[in-house]
Amino acid sequence: MLLGTITVKVDEYLKKRMSKVKINWSEYIREAIRRRVEIEEKRESAEKLLEGLKARKHVVPSGFINETIREMREAR
């Protein structure tokens, strides 16, 4: 996997404090960025779905809900 590079600047005081904490800051920041990207992607997907529902682009087929509930009850 190819890795890109980003740069984060912090003031000297924070840098000194960070050096006292035994954390792999690169890994911590990568994970924080990954989590935030996932949250934003989910938010965008939810907004698109909501827009589609408001515009009635997504329609539940007749009887689908009753059939699904029946199947779930029978599976117990």
What local confidence, expressed as pLDDT, does residue 54 receive? 84
What six digits make up the tokens of 55? 């515009």
Q: Position of tokens 């907004």?
A: 47
Please tell me the distance from the alpha carbon of residue 36 to that of residue 25, in angstroms, as a whole number: 16
> Which pTM was predicted?
0.65
More confident residue, 50 or 16: 16
Residue 44 pLDDT exceeds 90: yes
